[in-house]
Amino acid sequence: MKTWNDITHFAGFDWAKDHHDVLVLDGAGKIVSEFRFDHTAAGWTLCQEKLAQFPQVAIAVEAGHSAAIEKLVTLDYRVYPVHPRSSKSYRTRRLPSGTKTDRADCWALADALRLEGESWRVLTAPEPLVQRLRLLCRDEVALIEQRTALVNQLQQALYEYYPAALEAFGDWCAPSAWAFVERFPTPQSLVQAGKRKWQNFLHAHNLFHPEWNQKRMEIFAKADQFCGVEATIAAKSALAVATVKILQTLEAQLAGYRALITDCFKQHPDHALFASLPGAGPKLAPRLLGELAALKPLADTPQALQCLAGMAPVSYQSGKVSVVYLRYQCNRFLRATIHLWVDLSRHYCDWARIYYEAHRKKGQSHACALRCLGMRWLKIIAAMMRHQTPYDAAIHTRNQLQHGSWVLQLQPVQVVKKNGGD
């Protein structure tokens, strides 16, 4: 299948968790086949046998079920992903009564593809290394979110029975704080341990700081004077220790994820491009590569990247009403990644800080100013991907001079930090 004109049949694919529905139209819009199959190896074999009757078929599918869509692409079908909102609009256009069935969804997708699909973008199989990096980064963030939830649970338990522990340690994402709860699970065990064991623990975990030493000793000595009742201590200490052990296991797995991500990132030929971005560091650079490397075809249209990343706003205009608001329909993981990185970039890049501060002076919020800066950075990244060249501050400054950028008209800000932070 070379071009759109080669397509003779149009299929709508409606997925579910355990089964999928397919409906096929010919060029005139007549239904020529419809069937349902299970999401199993035998089911997918049946699907291939049914679609083999239509060698030049294109398939429209609502985005969301990654396993089903990935399978279709792997089987070398011409797949067109459709946004859920667009899918709903196509069905409503054909069935304004509000009728909704799996068959109706398939038919609406297939007919929309037949009538409008020539301008749609075909889904291509991602590069295996990029796909692996992308999934590893997303799963790492999911594990970090679980760690955050567990830390919150631990702090709540300590608040109920062990306030002295919360007072003595400020960072409860640090393994040393978890080790403290494991070593001294109750206020009574802490007091009974004595000063020598407290000092040994602090030395062993590199926590013996002169400015904190005396204060911690005082907190430890009075730990049993303000704590929960006996029943609460017995129950919540068990919960705290269990949570600590889960956190320690999770932290070890996160270290393994970090090693896998670093290895994948170094293997990719574009790693130098993303490593050169100011402030990206060893954590955000792989996330940016994993999300943006698959979008290379959009490098020629930076505006598409800006919209997909959620940096470009959405405009609503009707009569005298004109409103601009945040774009919610986007790649939210990419938006969060760019938001974090852009915020860091202004600490390592003069023009980025100037640009951010100029928008803040206009009355824009912190988040809005970062999105404006993110739009600017995405144009630069698109050029980097097109020309396959790392970011160079000198080249960017020269381009600003050539185009008469207003940023250069402002007083530069001295940057103290060095590049490469995390």
What CATH number is associated with residue 26?
A: 3.30.420.40
* pLDDT score, position 65: 66
CA 97 from centroid of its chain's CA atoms: 37
* pLDDT score, position 210: 75
Q: Over the stretch 166-181, which tens digit does the pLDDT of each residue have?
A: 999 989 999 999 999 9
Q: Do the beta carbons of residue 73 and residue 123 sit within 8 Å?
A: yes
Is the pTM higher than 0.75?
yes
> Over 90: is that where the pLDDT of 278 sits?
yes
Same structural domain for residues 153 and 250?
yes
Q: Do the beta carbons of residue 321 and residue 394 sit within 8 Å?
A: no
Look at the chain and report how many structural domains it folds into.
Answer: 3
* pLDDT score, position 415: 41
Q: Could you tell me if residue 414 is inside a domain?
A: no
Q: Could you tell me if residue 421 is inside a domain?
A: no
Query: In CATH, what number is assigned to the domain containing residue 165?
Result: 1.10.287
* pLDDT score, position 397: 77
Q: Nearest Cα to 296, choosing from 379, 378, 386? A: 386
Same structural domain for residues 258 and 276?
no
Same structural domain for residues 297 and 231?
no
* pLDDT score, position 12: 96
> Over 50: is that where the pLDDT of 154 sits?
yes
Range of the structural domain that residue 286 is part of: 271-409
What angle in degrees, to the nearest 10, is found between the helix axes of 281-292 and 230-267? 60
Q: Could you tell me if residue 125 is inside a domain?
A: no
Residue recorded with tokens 């071009």: 3
Q: Over the stretch 218-259, which tens digit does the pLDDT of each residue have?
A: 999 999 998 889 999 999 999 999 999 999 999 999 999 999
Tell me the percentage of the chain whose pLDDT exceeds 70. 95
Same structural domain for residues 280 and 236?
no
CA distances from 291 to 122, 141, 146, 179, 287 (A): 18, 14, 22, 36, 6
> Over 50: is that where the pLDDT of 112 sits?
yes
* pLDDT score, position 401: 73
Q: Could you tell me if residue 417 is inside a domain?
A: no
Q: Could you tell me if residue 224 is inside a domain?
A: yes
End of a domain among 119, 148, 180?
A: 119
Same structural domain for residues 151 and 254?
yes
Same structural domain for residues 11 and 110?
yes
How confident is residue 297, by pLDDT bands cut at 50, 70 and 90?
confident
End of a domain among 264, 279, 305?
A: 264
Q: Do the beta carbons of residue 95 and residue 114 sit within 8 Å?
A: no
Residue scoring higher pLDDT (410 or 202): 202
Same structural domain for residues 347 and 258?
no
Q: Do the beta carbons of residue 109 and residue 12 sit within 8 Å?
A: yes
Query: Rounded mean pLDDT of 289-298?
Result: 90
End of a domain among 243, 264, 285?
A: 264
Query: Rounded mean pLDDT of 378-382?
Result: 94
CA atoms within 13 A on the CB side of 23: 19
Same structural domain for residues 144 and 254?
yes
Same structural domain for residues 279 and 257?
no
How confident is residue 408, by pLDDT bands cut at 50, 70 and 90?
low
CA 326/CA 101 separation, integer angstroms? 32
Q: Could you tell me if residue 415 is inside a domain?
A: no
Same structural domain for residues 165 and 60?
no
How confident is residue 60, by pLDDT bands cut at 50, 70 and 90?
very high
Q: Do the beta carbons of residue 350 and residue 415 sit within 8 Å?
A: yes
Question: Helix, strand, coil shares of the chain as percentages rounded to 5?
Answer: 65, 10, 25
Q: Over the stretch 155-168, which tens digit does the pLDDT of each residue have?
A: 999 999 999 999 99
Same structural domain for residues 24 and 93?
yes
Residue 105 burial class via C-beta count within 10 angstroms: exposed 0-12, middle 13-18, buried 19 and up: buried
Same structural domain for residues 258 and 180?
yes
CA distances from 23 to 20, 34, 54, 102, 113 (A): 10, 4, 12, 10, 12
Q: Could you tell me if residue 422 is inside a domain?
A: no
Q: Could you tell me if residue 77 is inside a domain?
A: yes
